[in-house]
C-alpha cells in the first residue's frame, strides 16, 4: 500500500496500492479483501476475480471491498455460534 486516506463524506477508507511486477489481467468487477494467513498471521490483500469482459487498468478502483475480520470485536457468544453445527432435521 502506498497511501491510506479517509473520505469524510462517505466515511470510507481510501487505499492506494502499487503492484510490482507482472499482474495477470483481472476483470473490472473484481473485488478486494483484506485477509490473514492463519489465525494470527500477516495480513495481505486478496483479489477475487469477477466476470466482466473489461479488465482493470492502472488507476482503476475496486468497487467491492471487504475489510479484515477483527477478532477483538467478536464476543464470546459470536465465537460459540461460529463453532456450532446446524441442527439435525
pLDDT in tens, 4-47: 899 999 888 888 888 776 667 889 999 988 888 877 778 888 88
Average pLDDT in the chain: 78
Task: Cell numbers for 33, please give them.
Answer: 479483501
Which is nearest to 57 in space by CA: 87, 19, 14?
Answer: 19
Task: Cell numbers for 67, please give them.
Answer: 475489510
26/11 Cα distance (integer angstroms): 27
The residue assigned the cell 453445527 is 85
Amino acid at each position: 500500500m502506498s497511501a491510506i486516506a479517509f473520505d469524510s463524506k462517505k466515511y470510507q477508507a481510501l487505499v492506494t496500492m502499487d503492484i510490482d511486477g507482472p499482474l495477470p489481467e483481472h476483470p473490472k468487477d473484481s473485488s478486494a479483501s483484506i485477509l490473514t494467513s492463519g489465525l494470527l498471521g500477516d495480513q495481505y490483500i486478496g483479489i477475487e476475480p469477477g466476470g466482466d469482459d473489461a479488465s482493470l487498468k492502472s488507476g482503476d478502483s475496486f468497487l467491492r471491498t471487504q475489510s479484515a475480520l477483527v477478532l477483538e470485536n467478536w464476543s464470546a457468544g459470536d465465537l460459540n455460534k461460529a463453532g456450532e453445527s446446524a441442527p439435525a432435521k
